[in-house]
Amino acid sequence: MGLRRGTFHENYAQDMAIIRTRLHWGILFAFLLVLFACPLFLSDRMLTVMTMIGIAIISVHGLNILTGYCGLISIGHVGFMAVGAYTSAILTAKFGVPFWVALPCAALSAGMAGLLFGLPSLKIKGFYLIMATISAHFIIIWLVLHLRDLTGGPDGMAVPKPQIGSIVLTSKGSYFCLVMAMACLATFLAINIVRTRAGRAFVAVRDNDLAAEVMGISLWSYKLQAFFIGCVYAGVAGALLVHYYAFASVDQFPFMDSVWYLGMLIVGGMGSIPGAILGAVSLKLLDELVTVVGPILSKAVAAQAAASLALIARGLVIILFLIFEPRGLAHRWGMIRAYFRLWPFSHEELE
């Protein structure tokens, strides 16, 4: 038998497979095994960080489909997260709906909000759309603050811990597993959504919407679909966030986080599924670094140094990536992989 170097696809199924080789299957299973074993050996602090990363990954996948694939820039993503979060919170806390019913409802309501605020996207794009989504964020947060009977307004509201069947997810470990399962599902769905007819239409709309329309892609339908899908992801992420804290308040949905999610896309690489994951992980880790270094700096320099470090670090990372690596970490990773794919030259050695 010859030694096989490189991957050679011999039929359509192989060509379309997401996971192509046995080695990849092995790596995937090993990764999942280690991931879901994390609660056994990681500290609570680490688990919290990783749970937050998981939620960010879900949210950024949504933004990636909307902005990275369909080219509709949204800086109101956190607003849509808030819609999902409050839907789930109100349903579980006020109406006693079980968590596994409330979560799809949250996703759906966020998607509906996305459809509503996505309507301007039919006429406008670029900066105008950014303004529309910023408005969406502020209007949503204003509504949350003023529907006091329903949402508790500025006081926030208590949210029960999620319960699936008879298991209540109270421990950090169990919640971590829930979030990671959802993140894996979100990634799997995102990979597949962008390969479908709709996903290809999104890319066409992003590259040139007029050309896409001439080719027979209904802009009306696909732009709204992109908004719906992106906001469904946001809704799930928001619901997971408030159930984790067992508390919902507008402070969990600051405007700057929307910008930060876009920053994750920039750092990771727009229009790439690994990019979304890489960006979310690396920027959340940067956040953690800032929370560790901040207090030390505060003591050394001035009391406000921690707060300003967080802002400056975030801004600088985005600036540096825009100047030096505008296509993000995913692109860099792809180049490294391509290098090793060519070295040593891939070929099939026959006996």
CB of 235 to other proteins, least distance (A): 21
Q: Which of 35, 157, 308, 334 binds other proteins (CB under 8 A)?
A: 308
Q: Cα(283)–Cα(320) distance, rounded to whole angstroms?
A: 13
Q: Which of 28, 34, 164, 211 binds other proteins (CB under 8 A)?
A: 211
Residues 118-157 that bind other proteins (CB under 8 A): 119-120, 123-124, 126-128, 130-132, 134-136, 138-139, 142, 145-146, 148, 153
- Quick check: 305 and 298 in contact, CB under 8 A? yes
- Quick check: 236 and 182 in contact, CB under 8 A? yes
* Residues 6 or more apart whose Cβ sits within 8 Å of residue 205: 70, 71, 212, 217, 219, 222, 223, 226
Closer residue to other proteins in complex, CB, 28/311: 311
315 touches other proteins by CB under 8 A = yes
By CB under 8 A, which span of 34-42, 107-115, 217-225, 318-326 interacts with other proteins? 318-326
323 touches other proteins by CB under 8 A = yes
For the record, the structure tokens of 252 come out as 């969990």
205 touches other proteins by CB under 8 A = no
Closer residue to other proteins in complex, CB, 168/312: 312
- Quick check: 87 and 105 in contact, CB under 8 A? yes
Residues 213-242 that bind other proteins (CB under 8 A): 214
Q: Which of 37, 158, 296, 319 binds other proteins (CB under 8 A)?
A: 319
Residues 48-77 that bind other proteins (CB under 8 A): 67, 73, 75
Only one residue has tokens 């979030």, namely 179
Q: Cα(325)–Cα(331) distance, rounded to whole angstroms?
A: 8
Q: Cα(231)–Cα(249) distance, rounded to whole angstroms?
A: 19
* Residues 6 or more apart whose Cβ sits within 8 Å of residue 227: 66, 72, 74, 114, 115, 117, 118, 121
Q: Which of 54, 162, 263, 275 binds other proteins (CB under 8 A)?
A: 263
By CB under 8 A, which span of 3-11, 32-40, 54-62, 299-307 interacts with other proteins? 299-307
